[in-house]
Amino acid sequence: MGRPRLEVADIFCAHGPAYRQARQGHLSLGQLKVMSAIERCRTAELGGHRLRCENDCPTVEIAYHSCRNRHCPKCQGTAANRWLEARQADLLPINYFHAVFTFPEQLRELAYQNKRLVYELLFKTVSGTLLTIAADPKRLGAKIGITAVLHTWGSSLVYHPHLHCIVTGGGLGGGGARWVRSRPKFLVHVNVLSALFRRRFLEELFLAHDQGQLKFFGSLQDLTDPGWFAEYLRPLGKIKWVTDVRPPFAGPETVLAYLSRYTHRIAISNRRLVSLDERGVTFRYKDYRAKHRYRWKSMTLKTDEFIRRFLLHVLPPRFHRIKAMRNKTDKNDARGIAQLLRTGWYRPVHVKSVGSHQIRAMLSSRRVILKKCIDLENELRGLLRIFGTKLPPHLSHGTFEEVVREQRDPIAASTAPEPFGDAGGVARRTGRRQQTSLVSQTAHKEPLTDDLLLNHM
C-alpha cells in the first residue's frame, strides 16, 4: 500500500507552529508531545537506516524511524495486527454480541475535563452492568466474557466517548460447573442494561464528587458546589441513555477487525484525508443517519478546527483503552482450568516427548551452523575479490576450502582468509558431527511424537 497523498503529519507541519503559538498556555503537555511526535515521525530528526541489496545492485533506500506514539496515524500497524490475531485466537466456537455504551452529550465537557476518572468509571460501570445483568438467573444466569475498547470520537472527529464491547453469547453457570448459552440473537434487553448503566454511572459521579476527585474549569466551575452538581445531574437520570446490543452481521471477526484499526491510533486515518487548501482540511466521514449507500460524505473544516478536534482525543498518560474479562483464564490458574474441563471447553493435543525436543534442538542448531558457514564463505568471497580473485558461483561446502587454498596468490590464499577458513572448518566439522548424531538417534529411538494427550484449552 503506497503512501497517502495527504497525512496528518503534513497538516501539523504546515500549521502546527502557528496553532501552538496562538494557543500558548492552553494546550496540555500531552497534546504538545503528540503534535511533536507526529511532525517528526519518519523524518531525519528521528534518525534511520539504509537498505541495500546484498548483491551488486547500486540501489540504496533510506528508511527513517517512526515515533511509535499511540496517537500517530502512521505508527504501530504491526502491533494492531498482533492484537487482532491474538483476539481472534481467543474466540470460542459460540455466538458473540457487539455492545455499545455511551453517556449523554451533557456530560461530555465534564468528561473532557476529567478524562482519566470518567474513562475509568465508564469501564467500571459498563463491565459491572453486563456482568450483573448476565449473572441474574432471570436473565442468563452465567458469568460472561467481555473485551472492551474505548473510543472518544465520532466519524466527524467530534468528542464522543463511548465503549465498544465484544460479549460472549453465554458463560459459566451453576458455580462454574456448566456452560450456559444465550439465545442466538438475544443476550439481554437493552432497556434493562441502559437503566442499570445510567444509575451506576451517576452514582459513581456523585461518589467521586463527594471525595473531591472531580475538577471543574470554565463554565463548569459552579459545579464544585454539591447542590449545583446535583441539580446538573438530575435531568440526566430521567432520560434514556444510548445502549445497543446486537449480534454482529458478519461474525465477531469483523467487529474485532474494525476495533483493531484504532487500538493503536486515534480519531482518523490518513486514508480519509482528501485535501488541504486555503479553505481548510477536507476529509471523508460516515453519516450513520443516512442510508447505507449514501453514508460516506465529505466535510471541510478550517485547519485550526481540524487540529483542535484531533487533539481532543489525546489520552491521559499511561491510560489503557483496552480491557478484557475473558472466560478463558490463565493457564496456571488451576481453578479456571478445572472449570473449563468440567464444562467441556477444551480439545486434545499431542505433546512431544523429551527425545523429540532434543532432536528439534539439534536440527535448529544445525540450521544456525549452516547459515554461519554460508556467511563465512560470502565473507571470504568478498575478501578474495580485493586481491583480484573471483571464485566460481556454485561450490559445495566440502570443496570450498580446497578451492580457496589452491589460489595462486600466496597472500590471498594463505594469510588473509586463514581465520575465516579455520572458523568455517570448525563449523563444518561440528555440523557433520551433529548430522551423524542425528542419524543415529532417529534410527534407534522412539518416533518424534508420543501418543500422550492432554486436555488443553
Q: What is the pLDDT of residues 167-183, one digit of tens each?
A: 888 888 777 667 888 88
Could you read off the pLDDT of 217-261 as tens digits, one per residue?
989 999 999 999 999 999 999 999 989 998 887 778 888 888 887
Q: What is the mean pLDDT of the segment spanning 379-385? A: 76
Domain residue ranges of the chain, discontinuous segments joined by +: 8-64, 77-267+313-345, 350-456
Structure confidence at residue 396 (pLDDT): 64
Structure confidence at residue 141 (pLDDT): 86
> pLDDT class for 332, splitting at 50, 70, 90?
very low
Return d(Cα 159, Cα 293) in angstroms, integer. 26
Return d(Cα 316, Cα 358) in angstroms, integer. 49
How many CB atoms neighbour CB 237 within 10 A?
10
Sheet order of strands, 296-301 included:
273-277, 280-286, 296-301
- Partners of residue 276 on adjacent β-strands: 281
pLDDT exceeds cutoff 60 at 125: yes
How many CB atoms neighbour CB 114 within 10 A?
21
Phi and psi torsions of 80, nearest 5° = -65, -40
- Partners of residue 183 on adjacent β-strands: 186
Structure confidence at residue 100 (pLDDT): 93
Q: What is the mean pLDDT of the segment spanning 15-24? A: 93
Return d(Cα 139, Cα 134) in angstroms, integer. 6
Task: Give the residue among 204, 196, 203 at the shortest CA–CA distance from 121.
Answer: 204
Residue type, 110: L
Could you read off the pLDDT of 34-78 as tens digits, one per residue?
999 999 998 888 888 888 777 777 788 888 888 888 888 888 888
Structure confidence at residue 30 (pLDDT): 92
User: Which pTM does this prediction carry?
Assistant: 0.70
Q: What is the SS3 string spanning 299-316? A: EEECHHHHHHHHHCCCCC
Return d(Cα 158, Cα 313) in angstroms, integer. 9
Q: What is the mean pLDDT of the segment spanning 362-390? A: 78
Structure confidence at residue 206 (pLDDT): 95
Q: Is the pLDDT higher at 148 or at 390? A: 148
